[in-house]
Amino acid sequence: MQVKITFPHAGEYYVVFKDLLSNLGYEVVVPPPTSQKTLDIGIKYSPAQACLPFKITLGNLIEGIEKGANVVGMIGGKTGICRLAYYSEMYQKILADNGYQVELLAVKVKKEFWVNVRKHHPTLTLRQFMKTIRDFWQKLIIFELIRERSLELRPYEINKGDCTRMKQRFLRELEQTSESSRLKALKQEIIKGFDSISIDTKRNVIKLGLVGEFFLLIDQFSTLNMEEFLGNNGVFLKHSLRFSEFFVGSLKQKRFLDNYLPTHNNKVYKLAKKYITRPIGGHARESIGEAIVFKQKGYDGVIHLYPFSCMPEVVAGSIAPKVSSDWGIPILSICMDEHTGQAGFQTRLEAFTDMIKRKKYPSTAVDYKN
Amino acid sequence: MNQYYIGVDVGSVSTNIVLMDSKDNKKLSEALYIRTNGQPLESLKDGFKILKDKGYSSEDILGVGVTGSARVLIGNIIGADSIKNEITAHAVAAIDVCPNVKTVIEIGGQDSKMIILREGVVVDFAMNTICAAGTGSFLDQQAFRLNIPIEEFGEFALRADEPVRIAGRCTVFAETDMVHKQQEGATKEQIVAGLCEALARNYLNNVAKGKSIQEPILFQGGVAFNKGIKNAFEKELGVQLVIPEHFNVMGALGSGILAKEAIHETNKPTIFKGFDIMQKNHRLKRVDCRDCSNACELTEVTVAGEIVAKWGDRCGKWQK
């Protein structure tokens, strides 16, 4: 039987994951972009109390399976202390109950991944496997460069939409580039491309950090295109966690190092210790610690995003007001659920950025239209 | 010859319009409070018609500001000089009325807000999150259920000798609790007073969440009309609440002030399209832009056959 694999969307990251899987020899079925229909499917088959990321990703998988996939790739697999660890089991059970007979493949940096891929592709050598992983890693880093540059430059761009267009152009190129020798040159082109965008550096821009549930920080469907909305409102955005960091975050060796060596995460845990002493699942501890790191780096505020019913982040959200007053950094906690109306969400974001702008630039003009 | 700034607040329950004297923010020539009834365009049309019938001319309008949940839609149609969120609008109005205000409690139809200010600058704010318990709509529904006109709700609460305890976290459970208390023999007055206390408690737990509430406190929004709620807050907090003269149109007043600021700062004439724009035939259409792979969903407004506004694009090409 031909092995066709599909996997859930997470923002535009399919560009890199598609490549990883096809280089390993799979035929890849990319699900259609996340839409209202995806969410509707997800809601229909999910338990009501499941969180938004679960519903969206399940919708993605079903749409992918209906396009012909018979294997489902679950990024991260059974890791984490929160419900995420349980999700792959849930997917399998829900899919089977509804007549979708598929196999589950955990995509992660573990030996288990190699063993399972080898079952599908017995001729694959370890050398080829390692090379594919290395190429994937290189591509992931480039992907993040594109994403970060567009977030940093958007508030300054003179022609609205330049950053978005540039990002899309390079993502397309990255998607089409498969030989690793081209990647280095592409990286240089990306740096040059973004530098060529005409910017106005005199604008009253504020810097906000993003913390919270990992999927929501990436997926622009569930956060109603928050990145562009904020960028166009004069906000320089920075994520606390990169996908690449998330991907290796479950490695035992890395966790060990973070506990004892002065790594970035070690610093984050130490800062969070006053509020959360031990991991409670998800990125609750990181959300608190990273918010303080953003303050130390001179950011003007922090946005904390979490899905409704996400236990770890609800805990972090309840601690946020205390952190905010202890450290003097405004924190906006926003809970996302199935609502797709933008008005209420944007009102909160706009009021938050307005508040910070009026504090930071009291005497200068504020945009009256946004 | 008097000249004016217009402030419009198009909310879920009411559409408010104020006509502010160009020289004195405190002098409101008109303050209209119209029920939105789910139709923001219609309610604004009525409001503009009232203003026109009273003899105001579009030429005397120096600037227009819009706020409220339908602000982008309305602002694009009528030509607004300032389109701003409700928090900023309410804060600006509160500072104008009481320059040393430290806390603003605003309870509207769907939203309830708390704004913390220090020295005339917003330093913190909070809004209710997913649940609508603790907002005006909840009281509206319960008043309907008890067959009390919402205007008399506050009076009822004040008449109660001892309020009954009603669970206020969720409106559905509050309703159940209320029915049970009724069956246990509580009077209408006691129930109404209980509801007021439940709302105040819910607000302080879910919106204020331990923020430092310092005097002077302004209580604004439609719910401020309800003396029972004011009483409940004062009892719970142990402080006095100040209800500004124009408590129910503070958002509109704030957006009028913002329009004035915008006109002064940009030094450009207003882009207001006149009162008549609302009387013409409107058509709203959702169109998909196919010019690039973004496939943005645009909102297109046609007035009398002519496209007057188009927005929703990510590149800015259609927003002129």
Q: Which residue of B has its CA nearest to A227?
A: B314
Instruction: Please tell me the predicted confidence (pLDDT) of residue A367.
Output: 60
> In this complex, do B127 and A365 lie within 8 Å of one another by their Cβ atoms?
no
* Statement: residue A144 has pLDDT above 80: yes
pLDDT digits (tens, 9 = 90+) for B132-173: 556 777 788 888 888 888 888 888 888 888 888 887 667 777
pLDDT band of residue B218 (cuts 50, 70, 90) is very high
* Statement: residue B104 has pLDDT above 60: yes
> In this complex, do B83 and A370 lie within 8 Å of one another by their Cβ atoms?
yes
- Which contacts (CB < 8 Å, 24+ apart) does range A258-267 have? A267/A293
Q: Compute the radius of gyration of chain B from its Cα atoms.
A: 21
pLDDT digits (tens, 9 = 90+) for A318-354: 899 899 989 999 999 888 887 766 777 888 898 899 8
Summarize the confidence of residues A99-111 as an average pLDDT.
83
> In this complex, do B88 and A168 lie within 8 Å of one another by their Cβ atoms?
no
- A contacts of B210 (beta carbons < 8 Å): 321
Q: Which residue of B has its CA nearest to A358?
A: B121
Helix (H) or strand (E) holding A235: strand A235-239
**Nearest CA-CA distance, residue B261 and chain A, Å:** 9
The average confidence (pLDDT) of chain A is 86
ipTM over 0.90: no
Dihedral of the alpha carbons of B105, B207, B36, B45, in degrees to the nearest 10: 60
> DSSP letters along chain B, please?
---EEEEEEE-SSEEEEEEEESS-TT-EEEEEEEE-TT-HHHHHHHHHHHHHHTT--GGGEEEEEEESTTHHHHHHHHT-SEE--HHHHHHHHHHHH-TT--EEEEE-SS-EEEEEEETTEEEEEEE--S--TTSHHHHHHHHHHHT--GGGHHHHHHH-SSPPP---S-HHHHHHHHHHHHHTT--HHHHHHHHHHHHHHHHIIIIITT----SSEEEESGGGG-HHHHHHHHHHHSS-EE--TTGGGHHHHHHHHHHHHHHHHH--------GGGGTSPEEEEEEE--SSTT-PEEEEEEETTEEEEEE--SSSSS--
pLDDT band of residue A206 (cuts 50, 70, 90) is very high
Summarize the confidence of residues B233-251 as an average pLDDT.
89
Q: Which phi and psi (to 5°) does residue B126 adopt?
A: -145, 150
- B contacts of A350 (beta carbons < 8 Å): 84-85, 88
Helix (H) or strand (E) holding A319: helix A311-327
Pick the closest to residue B155 from B232, B227, B219 (CA basis). Answer: B227
Summarize the confidence of residues A249-276 as an average pLDDT.
83
- B contacts of A36 (beta carbons < 8 Å): none
- A contacts of B85 (beta carbons < 8 Å): 346-347, 350-351, 354
Q: How many alpha carbons lie under 13 Å from residue A321 in its C-beta half-sphere?
A: 12
pLDDT digits (tens, 9 = 90+) for B116-129: 888 888 888 888 76
pLDDT digits (tens, 9 = 90+) for A291-311: 999 999 999 999 999 998 888
A324 φ/ψ sector (left φ>0, alpha ψ -120 to 50, else beta): alpha
Instruction: Please tell me the predicted confidence (pLDDT) of residue A293.
Output: 95
Residue burial B105-123, b: 16+ Cβ < 10 Å; e: rest = bbbbbebbbbbbbeeeebb
Whole-prediction pTM: 0.84
Distance CA B166, CA B173 (A): 9
Using an 8 Å CB-CB cutoff, list residues of chain A that contact chain B: 159-161, 164-165, 168, 225, 228, 308, 321, 324, 330, 334-335, 337, 339, 343-344, 346-348, 350-352, 354-355, 358-359, 362, 365, 368-370
Query: In this complex, which of A335, A350, A362 lies closest to B129 when CB atoms are compared?
Result: A335
Alpha helices, H only, A31-177: 36-45, 52-66, 84-97, 111-120, 126-153, 162-176
pLDDT digits (tens, 9 = 90+) for A30-87: 999 888 889 999 999 998 888 898 899 999 999 999 999 989 888 766 666 667 777 8
**Nearest CA-CA distance, residue B297 and chain A, Å:** 13
> In this complex, do A343 and B69 lie within 8 Å of one another by their Cβ atoms?
yes
Instruction: Please tell me the predicted confidence (pLDDT) of residue B320.
Output: 53
Domains defined for chain B, CATH in brackets:
4-91+251-279 (3.30.420.40), 99-243 (3.30.420.40), 280-320 (no CATH)
> In this complex, do B86 and A351 lie within 8 Å of one another by their Cβ atoms?
yes
pLDDT band of residue A363 (cuts 50, 70, 90) is low
* Statement: residue B278 has pLDDT above 80: no
Distance CA B259, CA B256 (A): 5
Q: Which residue's entry shows tokens 């761009």?
A: A157
- B contacts of A225 (beta carbons < 8 Å): 314
**Nearest CA-CA distance, residue B108 and chain A, Å:** 13
Distance CA A150, CA A236 (A): 10
Distance CA B122, CA B104 (A): 10
Q: How far is CA B228 from CA A255, A327, B132, B135, B216, in A?
A: 56, 38, 19, 14, 20
Q: How many CB atoms lie within 10 A of CB A299?
A: 20
Tokens representing A307 are: 């899905």
Q: Compute the radius of gyration of chain A from its Cα atoms.
A: 21
Tokens representing A102 are: 């598929």
Distance CA B121, CA A134 (A): 52
